[in-house]
Amino acid sequence: MDLWYTEKHSDNVGITMKTTRTLFSGKSEYQQLDIVETLEFGRMMLLDGLVMVTERDEFIYHEMIVHPALFTHPNPKKVLVIGGGDGGTIREIMKHPEVELAVLCEIDGLVIEKSIEFLPSMAADIDGNNPRVKLHVDDGLAYIREQQNEFDIILVDSTDPIGPAVGLFEKDFYTLVFTALKDDGIMIAQSESPFYHAVIQKIMYRNLRAVFPIVEMYQAFIPTYPSGFWSFAFASKTCHPCNDFDHDRSAKRNFHTRYYNQDLHLGAFMLPTFARDNIAE
Amino acid sequence: MDLWYTEKHSDNVGITMKTTRTLFSGKSEYQQLDIVETLEFGRMMLLDGLVMVTERDEFIYHEMIVHPALFTHPNPKKVLVIGGGDGGTIREIMKHPEVELAVLCEIDGLVIEKSIEFLPSMAADIDGNNPRVKLHVDDGLAYIREQQNEFDIILVDSTDPIGPAVGLFEKDFYTLVFTALKDDGIMIAQSESPFYHAVIQKIMYRNLRAVFPIVEMYQAFIPTYPSGFWSFAFASKTCHPCNDFDHDRSAKRNFHTRYYNQDLHLGAFMLPTFARDNIAE
């Protein structure tokens, strides 16, 4: 039997992938969670029917949500990840020896549990055994409301602005992030596809600019996400992602990256005209 | 009735698009040609069942196969396009006032004819009425064999290296292109997806380097192509795509681009590590 999983990226277009088996399918308090095996992309996690990560291309998303900020901040010691229950973002953060503590605040304990079980290449650092990692199974909004001047970097590794993540795209949330960051703090948030989500981007970047003095968009190619063209918001109090990029530290890093590199760090901020237009002030 | 067109990008993954009607379906001497109407991407041309262009995202491919070379060459007067029967590449070339003559050498007259009929937003300059455009319905290999020291720029706007385009990825062809170019000539060729076509890229760039002293890869995101992550080869005798980029001429151009811009011209050459590795010497 040929089983194909199709994710619609709009009413009229989608990606379709051949699957071999379902490893887990269940409903948490917050969302539907499925982990399936695909032939092209390895294991794949879906939340409410949308692709979150696949084993084959997750390195792009995770390298790109982490390293641009970590190689821009002058001394990143304490990092918060909101969402990111698969553990891939924490794994990349752990490659930076400067980081003393990474806190993962994921609303859905089932995502963490099943990632540890089925996606070990991502989740190895969130199984409770890494002393530099602290887990909070909690609503990101509730958690961050209690934090002040606490983090060097906050990474918002959220789902799309529907379901449990909707509050993570609003101005009130960005104000809480601003308060939770130290004086030279940086926030990164996934910011959807410039090709399909122009309206969401417009609102999101307007909200970010109302709170942060420095707001830039950067891009990455992620084959399993809608259109393959994805973006991240870089928002900060003082650091500019290109002018303050620590090229030397990045060049001398003692770990390999398959997508990120020093040239690409700068190139990622050189956007197509239509993407720039989406977020023009 | 819901009709969905699915193009497989490998045996195990594909893109699927809702269609409303078929405008043309027929077989030429060389290949199967279909033009269908899709809801998400407008009209779409398929050759042998593979997406060549869609109205919604063709601007990316056509801007990116043309403008990086045209704004790098110091004085592009005579340009040859091999393939490109939809006319989109010629349309972008015509935006450069320096160009006195563009020659289109397309093997398949049916592609030209049906593009004029059904894709007028691309094909307006190849209908025989533009005195700066000359059409040759001919095999690119046969045509270029007769040319020596003739063109400033040659753009290879071909299909994949299967079917009629297979010869356009071989070293003998690149040698003919080299001979057909003037002393400061530039060749651009579409060079497949770094994500899916690592083996083709490796061979293609090795062949190019055996002929041209300067060979660089650049990238563009094209949603309807496999993985959404596409690439072009920049091969030239003397001009470097970044060092010799005419930033001023590009900044002062009197036409609008929706993908290409001066920053992106440079950023397009800043590749992910895995893409660089595909073509490492």
Q: What is the pLDDT of residues B224-252, one digit of tens each?
A: 999 999 999 999 999 999 999 999 999 99
Check whether A165 has a pLDDT greater than 80.
no
Least Cα distance to B281 among B194, B215, B197, B187 occurs for B215
Q: Are residue A97 and residue A171 in the same domain, yes or no? A: yes
Contact A15 B17 (CB under 8 A): no
Strands A214-221 and A133-137: unpaired
Q: Are residue A42 and residue A146 in the same domain, yes or no? A: no
CA-CA-CA-CA torsion sign (A170, A175, A179, A184): positive
| Domain encompassing residue B12 | 3-53
Contact B18 A40 (CB under 8 A): no
Integer angstrom CA distances of residue A177 from A47, A156, A162, B77, B100: 25, 10, 20, 55, 56
Determine the distance in angstroms separating the CA of B41 from the nearest CA of chain A, rounded to an integer: 9
Q: Are residue B180 and residue B218 in the same domain, yes or no? A: yes
Our count of domains for chain B comes to 2
Specify the pLDDT at position A164. Answer: 73
Q: B138-163, pLDDT tens digit by residue? A: 999 999 999 999 999 999 998 877 77
Domain boundary among B34, B53, B72: B53
Check whether A106 has a pLDDT greater than 80.
yes
Q: Are residue B231 and residue B106 in the same domain, yes or no? A: yes
Q: Are residue B210 and residue B103 in the same domain, yes or no? A: yes
SS3 state of residue B259: coil
The conformational region for residue B84 under phi > 0 = left, psi -120 to 50 = alpha, else beta, is left
Check whether A163 has a pLDDT greater than 80.
no
pLDDT band at B63 (very low <50, low <70, confident <90, very high): very high
> Burial level of A170, CB count in 10 A (0-12/13-18/19+)?
middle
H/E stretch holding A218: strand A214-221
Q: Which of A6, A229, A269 sits opposite B16 (nearest CB)?
A: A6
Q: Which one of A57, A86, A157, A160 is the catalytic residue? A: A157
Percentage, residues of chain A above pLDDT 90: 92
Q: Are residue B13 and residue B117 in the same domain, yes or no? A: no
Q: Are residue B103 and residue B22 in the same domain, yes or no? A: no
Residues of chain B found within 8 Å of residue A250, distances taken between Cβ atoms = none
CB A123 within 8 A of CB A86: yes
Q: A3-31, pLDDT tens digit by residue? A: 899 999 989 999 999 999 999 999 999 99
The residue whose two tokens read 């199967």 is B32
Least Cα distance to B70 among B51, B52, B86, B91 occurs for B91
Q: B76-109, pLDDT tens digit by residue? A: 999 999 999 999 999 999 999 999 999 999 999 9
Q: Are residue B152 and residue B70 in the same domain, yes or no? A: yes
Q: Are residue B39 and residue B68 in the same domain, yes or no? A: no
Specify the pLDDT at position A245. Answer: 98
Residues of chain B found within 8 Å of residue A230, distances taken between Cβ atoms = none
Percentage, residues of chain A above pLDDT 70: 100
Check whether A133 has a pLDDT greater than 80.
yes
Contact A269 B272 (CB under 8 A): no
pLDDT band at A76 (very low <50, low <70, confident <90, very high): very high
Q: Which one of B57, B157, B183, B184 is the catalytic residue? A: B157
Specify the pLDDT at position B252. Answer: 96
> Chain-wide mean pLDDT for chain B?
96
Q: B256-269, pLDDT tens digit by residue? A: 999 999 999 999 99
Q: How many helices (H) and strands (E) does chain B have?
A: 10, 12
Q: Residue B235: how many CB atoms within 10 A of its CB?
A: 29
CB A92 within 8 A of CB A62: yes
Instruction: Find the CATH number of the domain harbouring B66.
Output: 3.40.50.150
Check whether B164 has a pLDDT greater than 80.
no
Which tokens in the block code for residue B50? 């593979």
Q: Are residue A155 and residue A22 in the same domain, yes or no? A: no
Q: Are residue A122 and residue A157 in the same domain, yes or no? A: yes
Q: Which of A10, A60, A228 sits opposite B221 (nearest CB)?
A: A228
pLDDT band at A92 (very low <50, low <70, confident <90, very high): very high
CB B192 within 8 A of CB B201: yes
